Amino acid sequence: MALPSVFLFNSSSNLIYVYLNGAGPTQVVSVSGTSPTLNWVPQGPTTNPTFTATPTAGTIGWGNNQVAIQVSGGTQAGSPFTINIPQNTQLPLFSVEIYFFYKDVNNVSWVVLGDGAFLSGSITIGK
């Protein structure tokens, strides 16, 4: 069975750099920010990462994926966090969509959808 495509989306106004599963500098995915002139539509990268059966550097896969976000102009990425893509998801699954909501390096929320249906997420509510 074919693996799904993966699509990253940035819902913040800042350009962000996404480090997937220990990605090196050449594997970082840059995702433009959105703005009022774009009607706040979340933006995606020029090239999305690949979905693999097992997460590897620079890819997304089934199970736990280590992710870190760096904002444009920042000196380093924030602390890594885990995004889980459940392996027990109903198949076939054609696409995995990951939306990032960036406040600062210590406050990143995210939601994972599979073909538009909720799969997992972590929302930080607070200051």
Q: Contact at 8 Å (CB) between 10 and 101?
A: no
Calculate the alpha carbon distances from 71 to 26, 44, 76, 84, 89 in Å: 16, 15, 8, 22, 31
For the whole model, what pTM was predicted? 0.91
Rounded-to-integer distance, Cα 102 and Cα 119, Å? 20
Calculate the alpha carbon distances from 125 to 63, 99, 108 in Å: 25, 16, 10
Per-residue pLDDT tens for 6-16?
999 999 999 99
Domain that holds residue 66: 5-122
In-domain check, residue 23: yes
Question: Per the structure, how many domains does the chain have?
Answer: 1
Smallest CA-to-CA distance from 47 within 3, 109, 5, 107 is with 5
Q: What are phi and psi of 27, to 5 degrees?
A: -105, 0
In-domain check, residue 58: yes
In-domain check, residue 127: no
Per-residue pLDDT tens for 98-126?
999 988 777 889 999 999 999 999 987 76
Per-residue pLDDT tens for 27-46?
999 999 999 999 999 999 99
In-domain check, residue 97: yes
Give the CA radius of gyration of the chain: 14
Q: For residue 122, what are its two tokens? A: 């972590």
What percentage of the chain exceeds 90 in pLDDT? 71
